[in-house]
Amino acid sequence: MFAVIAVGLPGAAHGREPLRAEPGSLERAAPELIERLRADPFNYFRFINRSWIARVCDAFGRDLQELPVMRLHGDAHVEQFAVTQDAWGLDDFDDSARGPAVIDIVRFLGSVDLVARQRSWEKNRDALFDRFREGYKRGLTEPDYVPPPPDIVRRLRTEAPATRAASLS
Protein backbone atom coordinates (compact mmCIF):
# COMPACT_ATOMS: atom_id res chain seq x y z
CA MET A 1 0.00 0.00 0.00
CA PHE A 2 2.72 2.51 0.95
CA ALA A 3 4.66 1.84 -2.25
CA VAL A 4 1.72 2.73 -4.44
CA ILE A 5 1.12 5.96 -2.57
CA ALA A 6 4.82 6.86 -2.44
CA VAL A 7 5.03 6.53 -6.19
CA GLY A 8 1.70 8.33 -6.62
CA LEU A 9 2.72 11.38 -4.66
CA PRO A 10 5.24 13.11 -6.89
CA GLY A 11 3.41 14.21 -9.95
CA ALA A 12 0.89 14.45 -12.69
CA ALA A 13 1.96 11.15 -14.26
CA HIS A 14 0.17 9.48 -11.38
CA GLY A 15 -3.06 11.48 -11.66
CA ARG A 16 -1.94 14.24 -9.31
CA GLU A 17 -0.59 17.71 -9.84
CA PRO A 18 3.19 17.86 -9.50
CA LEU A 19 4.40 18.75 -6.03
CA ARG A 20 5.35 22.39 -5.84
CA ALA A 21 7.28 24.35 -3.25
CA GLU A 22 5.31 26.35 -0.72
CA PRO A 23 3.87 29.51 -2.27
CA GLY A 24 6.32 32.38 -2.14
CA SER A 25 9.35 30.28 -1.23
CA LEU A 26 10.82 30.38 -4.73
CA GLU A 27 10.24 34.12 -5.05
CA ARG A 28 12.44 34.63 -1.96
CA ALA A 29 15.08 32.15 -3.13
CA ALA A 30 18.50 33.28 -4.29
CA PRO A 31 19.35 32.53 -7.94
CA GLU A 32 22.05 30.09 -6.77
CA LEU A 33 19.42 28.07 -4.90
CA ILE A 34 17.15 28.00 -7.94
CA GLU A 35 20.04 26.62 -10.01
CA ARG A 36 20.78 23.93 -7.37
CA LEU A 37 17.10 22.93 -7.34
CA ARG A 38 17.10 22.59 -11.13
CA ALA A 39 20.40 20.68 -11.21
CA ASP A 40 19.61 17.87 -8.77
CA PRO A 41 16.29 16.11 -8.14
CA PHE A 42 17.27 15.43 -4.51
CA ASN A 43 17.79 19.13 -3.87
CA TYR A 44 14.25 19.73 -5.07
CA PHE A 45 12.98 16.71 -3.10
CA ARG A 46 14.43 18.22 0.10
CA PHE A 47 13.10 21.68 -0.75
CA ILE A 48 9.49 20.52 -1.08
CA ASN A 49 9.39 18.63 2.24
CA ARG A 50 6.48 20.62 3.69
CA SER A 51 4.47 20.28 0.48
CA TRP A 52 5.24 16.56 0.51
CA ILE A 53 3.95 16.22 4.09
CA ALA A 54 0.78 18.11 3.17
CA ARG A 55 0.23 15.75 0.20
CA VAL A 56 0.74 12.67 2.42
CA CYS A 57 -1.72 14.04 4.98
CA ASP A 58 -4.19 14.72 2.20
CA ALA A 59 -3.77 11.22 0.74
CA PHE A 60 -4.24 9.59 4.16
CA GLY A 61 -6.71 12.20 5.43
CA ARG A 62 -9.49 9.85 6.42
CA ASP A 63 -7.09 7.46 8.16
CA LEU A 64 -4.92 9.95 10.07
CA GLN A 65 -7.14 9.97 13.16
CA GLU A 66 -6.83 6.18 13.42
CA LEU A 67 -3.03 6.08 13.15
CA PRO A 68 -0.90 6.22 16.30
CA VAL A 69 1.09 9.37 16.95
CA MET A 70 4.81 8.84 17.35
CA ARG A 71 8.13 10.68 17.13
CA LEU A 72 8.92 11.41 13.47
CA HIS A 73 12.18 12.20 11.79
CA GLY A 74 10.26 14.75 9.75
CA ASP A 75 12.52 14.64 6.68
CA ALA A 76 13.32 10.95 6.24
CA HIS A 77 15.13 10.21 2.99
CA VAL A 78 18.16 8.27 1.84
CA GLU A 79 20.49 11.28 2.01
CA GLN A 80 19.78 11.45 5.75
CA PHE A 81 21.30 7.98 6.17
CA ALA A 82 24.66 8.24 7.93
CA VAL A 83 27.31 5.61 8.52
CA THR A 84 30.10 5.67 11.10
CA GLN A 85 32.36 2.89 12.35
CA ASP A 86 30.07 2.51 15.39
CA ALA A 87 26.56 3.18 14.10
CA TRP A 88 24.33 3.64 11.08
CA GLY A 89 20.89 5.09 10.52
CA LEU A 90 19.02 8.34 9.99
CA ASP A 91 20.59 11.56 11.20
CA ASP A 92 19.72 15.27 11.02
CA PHE A 93 16.61 15.48 13.19
CA ASP A 94 16.06 19.25 12.83
CA ASP A 95 12.57 18.64 11.36
CA SER A 96 11.62 16.14 14.07
CA ALA A 97 7.96 16.27 15.08
CA ARG A 98 5.12 14.12 16.34
CA GLY A 99 2.63 12.57 13.97
CA PRO A 100 1.64 9.42 12.14
CA ALA A 101 4.50 7.17 10.99
CA VAL A 102 3.08 7.21 7.47
CA ILE A 103 4.67 10.64 6.96
CA ASP A 104 8.21 9.31 7.44
CA ILE A 105 7.47 6.01 5.71
CA VAL A 106 6.11 7.56 2.53
CA ARG A 107 8.83 10.22 2.50
CA PHE A 108 11.58 7.58 2.75
CA LEU A 109 9.94 5.40 0.09
CA GLY A 110 9.65 8.46 -2.15
CA SER A 111 13.41 8.95 -1.85
CA VAL A 112 14.01 5.26 -2.61
CA ASP A 113 11.85 5.71 -5.71
CA LEU A 114 13.93 8.73 -6.74
CA VAL A 115 17.19 6.79 -6.28
CA ALA A 116 15.78 3.87 -8.27
CA ARG A 117 14.91 6.22 -11.13
CA GLN A 118 18.30 7.98 -11.04
CA ARG A 119 20.22 4.70 -11.05
CA SER A 120 17.95 2.89 -13.54
CA TRP A 121 16.88 0.39 -10.87
CA GLU A 122 13.17 0.65 -11.67
CA LYS A 123 12.88 -3.12 -12.05
CA ASN A 124 14.16 -3.50 -8.45
CA ARG A 125 12.05 -0.74 -6.94
CA ASP A 126 9.24 -2.93 -5.62
CA ALA A 127 11.76 -5.28 -4.00
CA LEU A 128 13.42 -2.27 -2.34
CA PHE A 129 10.03 -1.06 -1.09
CA ASP A 130 9.17 -4.54 0.22
CA ARG A 131 12.50 -4.86 2.01
CA PHE A 132 12.03 -1.49 3.69
CA ARG A 133 8.44 -2.31 4.66
CA GLU A 134 9.38 -5.71 6.10
CA GLY A 135 12.24 -4.22 8.12
CA TYR A 136 9.99 -1.46 9.43
CA LYS A 137 7.27 -3.95 10.35
CA ARG A 138 9.74 -6.23 12.10
CA GLY A 139 11.14 -3.31 14.07
CA LEU A 140 7.63 -2.48 15.29
CA THR A 141 6.60 -6.04 16.14
CA GLU A 142 9.88 -7.23 17.69
CA PRO A 143 11.10 -4.56 20.14
CA ASP A 144 14.48 -6.28 20.71
CA TYR A 145 15.18 -6.75 17.02
CA VAL A 146 18.39 -5.18 15.79
CA PRO A 147 18.67 -5.48 12.03
CA PRO A 148 21.93 -6.52 10.44
CA PRO A 149 23.74 -3.69 8.69
CA PRO A 150 22.69 -3.37 5.04
CA ASP A 151 25.33 -4.24 2.44
CA ILE A 152 25.88 -0.54 1.78
CA VAL A 153 26.90 0.00 5.42
CA ARG A 154 29.59 -2.65 5.16
CA ARG A 155 30.82 -1.14 1.89
CA LEU A 156 30.83 2.44 3.20
CA ARG A 157 32.66 1.40 6.35
CA THR A 158 35.51 -0.06 4.29
CA GLU A 159 35.75 3.24 2.39
CA ALA A 160 35.38 5.49 5.44
CA PRO A 161 38.32 7.51 6.76
CA ALA A 162 40.02 5.74 9.66
CA THR A 163 39.96 8.67 12.09
CA ARG A 164 37.63 11.49 13.04
CA ALA A 165 40.26 14.03 11.95
CA ALA A 166 40.55 12.37 8.53
CA SER A 167 36.77 12.38 8.18
CA LEU A 168 36.53 16.09 9.00
CA SER A 169 39.28 16.96 6.55
CA 143 from centroid of its chain's CA atoms: 23
The set of long-range contacts for 35-44, using a CB threshold of 8 Å and a minimum separation of 24, is: 41/114, 41/118, 42/77, 42/79, 42/111, 42/114
- Strand partners of residue 83: 88
Any idea what the Cα angle at residue 167 is, between residues 166 and 169, rounded to 5°? 65
Please name the residues in contact with 14: beta carbons below 8 A apart, sequence gap of 6 or more.
Answer: 7, 8
| Residue with the larger pLDDT of the pair 5 and 64 | 64
Q: pLDDT at position 38, please?
A: 85
The arithmetic mean of pLDDT across residues 70-79, rounded, is 87
pLDDT for 97-111, tens place per residue? 998 888 889 989 999
Domain boundaries in the chain?
2-160
pTM above 0.85, yes or no: no
Dist CA 100 CA 4 (whole Å): 18
pLDDT for 6-31, tens place per residue? 444 444 444 567 777 777 788 888 88
